[in-house]
Amino acid sequence: MDLISLILCALFVVLIIPAITSTVYHQYVLRRKLKNIPQCGGFPFGVAFELIKLTDYERVQWFVQRMLHFKEGIFIHWLGTKPLINLYKPEFLEIILPSTVNIEKGQPYEMLHSWLGKGLLTSTGKQWFHDRKLIGPTFHFSILDQFAIVMSEKAEILTKCLEREVAKNPGKAINIFPFANNVALDVICETAMGVDVCAQEVETKYTATIHRGSKLILERLFRPWYWPDWLYNLVPSGKEYKSGLNTIHKFTREVISKKKIARQSRNGYAKSENEDDDIGKRKRKAFLDLLLDQNEKDEAPLTDDELRAQVDTFMFEGHDTTAVAITWTLFLLGNNLEHQEKVHEELEEVFKDSKTPASVKELSQLKYLDRIIKETLRLYPSVPTITRKLAEEVKIGDYTLPKDVTVVLGIAFTHINPQVWSDPKKFDPDRFLPENSKHRNPYAYIPFSAGPRNCIGQRFALLEEKTILTAILRKWRVKSVKKSDEIQYGATLIFRPCEDIFVHFMSKK
């Protein structure tokens, strides 16, 4: 044996064998701790290859079947050597979500760090508590009134775009998702950054890159071998993703830089006492402006990179989620015409012959539309699952979950769990009448999560959905081309349709 072969053998004995032995031992210990929990997927690959062969829709059905099979409300599926503990029983979610200790998001969210940095979605520990406290005031009720004006303006542009599409192809069904996506992107760009990207009129490089970046993340999610950044950066999709991030980050940094220069040029401008009431006489403030206001008062202000991470986070979280919620609501109304008729009756009662955009006060009167949106978010929650990496051992029912494992909180599966909801697939907005909700476990319905890490923008999202849906339904009745059981969807980062959602728009006159 030559010297090089001898050295390689020595390295194998000294480095590789101990590493393999350590991995096998830790797997043995971990699996012993989890042996009492129902599970699927063996060592070393788990169910990765089984899931990778499935379409997004088939993957959802795979999880639904296991939810129905494992009636205990808990099961583990292994991805590679990592156990993911699925919970979909309200009583189990109620143990995890209120915790102020188990707030770290876990493995899947680590893939978002390159895009979102340590923004509010991905940060943890002291930084998360600091940032949540800093950002909270930017979503005050009085601020939402300002954002509502932007939402109304973008909704008006949307109705004009739809009018053109209806006139161009009379009687032809329209794929609603791209329209919903573009109006939501328009809203979030102007409310988050104060930039009008005109997404409904023309696709810019920035908006196209956001769409593509989201898709690449979804493709990576179920390929565990692409999880290590060093490897992903070497493959073509990883290189494309990195190039896209450069475009997104450059855009956000330029906006932040311009905002800061503009603020400095005001030379210590002092806000008048009645400025908050003087919305019509001044330029509206975007989330970034409000964040900079808060940042200047803070004892530990955010750096430019941290500001960029927060803005990118709201851009990422604030358009796709709302777009799918609007899409699914129109789709379900188009499939449940008796419920849609009640919505139109409510709209007539509130708006009568008025042609002016809906005010926040008028929107608050639309109680039936509220229930429609809630029932839509039960059946199609925009964010179907969230994860937590446990910082401490947790006792759940008869099971003990060890520290450092990742739990998957199945919002979508809790929402259709037949042990929680009667006839769970039926569209029934009256589930959310006060008398039908009062005895329900509060964790049975959590479309915006719950506990300290609940969605900070949920009032913003609901206001946007109501504004846009109202603008559409005041002009048209809608009828879906396909039935609910004919449409395929995927529950990855968001509850996204896997195909076009075609809807007929019929004049109310």
pLDDT at 8: 64
Residue 18 in domain: no
Band (274; pLDDT cuts 50, 70, 90) = very low
**pLDDT per position as a tens digit, 52-104:** 888 889 999 999 999 999 999 999 998 888 899 999 999 999 999 999 999 99
475: nearest Cα among 505, 451, 498: 505
46 vs 175 pLDDT, higher one: 175
Using the predicted structure, report yes or no on whether residue 222 has a pLDDT greater than 60: yes
CA 346, chain centre distance (Å): 29
pLDDT at 276: 47
pLDDT at 272: 45
Band (4; pLDDT cuts 50, 70, 90) = confident
Buried b (16+ CB within 10 A) or exposed e, 255-284: bbeebeeeeeeeeeeeeeeeeeeeeeeeee
78: three-class secondary structure by DSSP: strand
Residue 380 in domain: yes
**pLDDT per position as a tens digit, 168-179:** 988 899 999 999
**pLDDT per position as a tens digit, 341-373:** 999 999 999 999 888 999 999 999 999 999 999
pLDDT at 391: 94
- Domain total of the chain: 1
Q: Is 404 left (phi over 0), alpha (psi -120 to 50) or beta?
A: left
Residue 303 in domain: yes
Q: How far apart are CA 276 and CA 142, in angstroms?
A: 8
**pLDDT per position as a tens digit, 395-436:** 998 999 999 999 999 999 999 999 999 999 999 999 999 999
How does the average pLDDT of the chain come out, rounded?
88
Q: How far apart are CA 75 and CA 219, in angstroms?
A: 24
DSSP, residue by residue, 341-385: HHHHHHHHHHHTT--SPPPHHHHHT-HHHHHHHHHHHHHS-SS-E
Place of tokens 């899947």: 108
145 vs 331 pLDDT, higher one: 331
Residue 2 in domain: no
pLDDT at 282: 47
pLDDT at 280: 43
pLDDT at 15: 66
Band (326; pLDDT cuts 50, 70, 90) = very high
pLDDT at 279: 41
pTM of the model: 0.90
**pLDDT per position as a tens digit, 138-182:** 887 778 888 999 999 999 999 999 999 999 988 899 999 999 999
98 vs 260 pLDDT, higher one: 98
Here the CATH number for the domain that contains residue 76 is 1.10.630.10
What percentage of the chain carries pLDDT values higher than 90?
58
Residue 262 in domain: yes
Structural domain of 105: 51-266+285-507
Band (394; pLDDT cuts 50, 70, 90) = very high
Q: How far apart are CA 210 and CA 111, in angstroms?
A: 16
pLDDT at 270: 47
Band (228; pLDDT cuts 50, 70, 90) = confident
Band (277; pLDDT cuts 50, 70, 90) = very low
Q: Identify the bridge partners of residue 40 per DSSP, sorted by sequence position.
A: 77
Residue 95 in domain: yes
Task: Say whether 9 counts as a known binding-site residue.
Answer: no
Residue 22 in domain: no
pLDDT at 62: 95
Residue 39 in domain: no
